[in-house]
Amino acid sequence: MGIRFNEVSYGYSSFAQGLYTAIKDINLEITEKNEFIALVGHTGSGKSTLAKHMNALIFPTSGTLEIFGHTITNKRNKKIKYNDIRKKVGLVFQFPEYQLFEETVEKDIMFGPMNFQITKEEAKKLAKQSLKLVGLDDSYLSRNPYNLSGGEKKRVSIAGILAMDPDILVLDEPTSGLDPAGKRILMDLFKNINETTGKTIIIITHDMDLVYQYFNRVLVMNDGHLMFDGKTEALFQKEDVTDYHLDYPNTIKVLKYLNQELNLNMNVFQKTTAEALAEIKRAVKL
């Protein structure tokens, strides 16, 4: 059992808005192995608040949260070693590259694991391994993180979390700010880590094309509620996705337009351009 939300709600209080409930009555189960999950929703829908619960960075206002056997409630429990939870569930914030601070890539990646009582040698070994996982070779170890490109910085910061060897990895919009090629490289990398190590990966994103092409399971947040938890295909087959302030993937939108304009009867649920192309050709042949 990885993470389970039981009727979890979380409220912020602020002078301006009074009590504001960011997430409401969330019930959700995430297994600790082999899951690849997209978490979507408009800004302010509660996605980030949901993610912050996953490694007990914040505690539920009401309801309970189970993370690897520890039960989290709204009170801090002295018996729980929160550090253990944070080692099991790694959280990567948006624009993690702003958090790089050491003078070499190696030191930066070692920083995390060194907090968990291991030797310097072990940490160095972990740094090397996790750098390889994110697709960078050893020559990067001695480089200054500030002189790397945006995409490289992102990968180094992700390696820093991987070095702590979490079972579950939660990433908040890891591909934002990258060009299309950089996006795909990073997504392929996550998929690869997921498949080779079996780590469960949860990714917050706004990019419906990526959601459709890469993920099996998708969680949709809207106004603090978990509106959908299921297969990606099933989500986009729904007629009312826009009610959740979501868009359809581009392949679906384009094929729908062709169907409507040319009175065709194509199956619009094609994930890639190649599949869409095959469907167009099939329809024309008929």
Partner 1 sequence: MSYIEIKNLTFSYNEKTNVLEDVNLEINKGEWIAVLGHNGSGKSTLAKTLVGLLEPQKGEISIDGLIMNDEFAYEIRKKIGIVFQNPDNQFVGVTVRDDIAFGMENLCVPREEMLEKIGFYAEKVNMLKFLDSEPANLSGGQKQRVAIAGILAMQSDIIIFDEATSMLDPFSREELIKYIKTLHQDGLTIIMITHDINEALLADRILVMNKGKVYAFEDTEEIMKKKSIFTDSHLELPVSLDLANALTETQEYKEIREKLWEYALMK
Contact pick of 181, 239, 240, 265 for partner 1 (by CB under 8 A): 181
Choice between 11 and 182, CB closer to partner 1? 182
Cβ 278 to partner 1 shortest distance, Å: 10
Q: Which of 173, 239, 275, 279 is catalytic?
A: 173
Q: What is the dihedral of CA 155, 158, 159, 162, to 10 degrees?
A: -150
Query: 99 to 138, contacts with partner 1 by CB under 8 A?
Result: none
| Strand order across the beta sheet in which 89-92 lies | 89-92, 168-172, 200-204, 36-40, 217-222, 225-231
- Which value, in Å, is the radius of gyration of the alpha carbons in the chain? 21
Contact pick of 70, 206, 217, 225 for partner 1 (by CB under 8 A): 206
Q: Is 29 a catalytic residue?
A: no
Cβ 284 to partner 1 shortest distance, Å: 6
Q: Where are the beta strands (DSSP E) in 112-224?
A: 168-172, 200-204, 217-222
Choice between 137 and 261, CB closer to partner 1? 261
| Strand order across the beta sheet in which 70-72 lies | 18-30, 3-14, 62-67, 70-72
Contact pick of 83, 115, 142, 149 for partner 1 (by CB under 8 A): 149
Contact pick of 144, 257, 267, 282 for partner 1 (by CB under 8 A): 257
Query: 28 to 47, contacts with partner 1 by CB under 8 A?
Result: 41-44
Q: How many CA atoms lie within 13 A of 58 on its CB side?
A: 16
The DSSP H or E segment spanning 283 is: helix 273-285
Interacting span for partner 1 (CB under 8 A) from 75-83, 217-225, 229-237, 254-262:
254-262
Choice between 6 and 177, CB closer to partner 1? 177
Contact pick of 95, 111, 116, 269 for partner 1 (by CB under 8 A): 95
Q: Which of 203, 205, 226 is nearest to 91 (CA)?
A: 203
Cβ 21 to partner 1 shortest distance, Å: 15
- Pairing assessment for the beta strands 225-231 and 217-222 based on DSSP bridges: antiparallel
Interacting span for partner 1 (CB under 8 A) from 53-61, 69-77, 221-229, 269-277:
269-277
Q: Can residue 182 be called a binding residue for partner 1 (CB under 8 A)?
A: yes
If you write DSSP's letter for every residue of 206-262 in order, what string do you get? --HHHHHHH-SEEEEEETTEEEEEEEHHHHHHSS-GGGGT----HHHHHHHHHHHHH
Q: Residues 174, 203: contact at Cβ < 8 Å? A: yes
Choice between 79 and 181, CB closer to partner 1? 181
By CB under 8 A, name the binding residues for partner 1.
14, 16-17, 41-44, 94-95, 149-151, 173, 176-182, 206, 208-209, 245-247, 250-251, 254, 257-258, 261-262, 273, 276-277, 280-281, 284
| Residues designated as active site | 173
